[in-house]
Amino acid sequence: MDCIFCKIIAGEIPSDKVYEDENVLAFRDINPQAPVHVLIVPKKHMRNILECDAQTAAAVTEAVGKVARQEGVSVSGFRVVTNCGRDGAQSVEHLHFHLLGGDKLSESMA
């Protein structure tokens, strides 16, 4: 399958990894939108949140907490976003959650 995140998970494309467990890989976004911008990605390929099962949602949620603490933003705060489909401006069709922080983020969500 021609999926860039599956290739990163397989180690075929390098990434700046910040966290990994059995179900999840987290790495820095190549084009950061905030001082901390980490992508939290289930290892199992699924296109977007509409295909996300409960086990994956739990694994990602746990990883969010670990990455936020590790990156030092759990006290100051952060934002988690997943874009879905055309109107959601999703550009990579492998489910991923953006963890953004390290500075005061925009009050605007869209």
Name the residues that contact ligand 5GP, by CB under 6 A. Answer: 4, 13, 15, 27-31, 39, 83, 89-92
Residue 94 known to be catalytic: no
Binding-site partner at residue 90 among ligand 5GP, Zn ion, none, CB < 5 to 8 Å by type: ligand 5GP
Q: Is residue 81 helix, strand or coil?
A: strand
Contact call for residues 30 and 17 (beta carbons, < 8 A): no
Pick the closest to residue 79 from 104, 62, 60 (CA basis): 104
Size of the site for Zn ion (CB under 5 A): 5
Catalytic residues: 96
| Contacting positions for Zn ion (CB under 5 A) | 3, 5-6, 45, 94
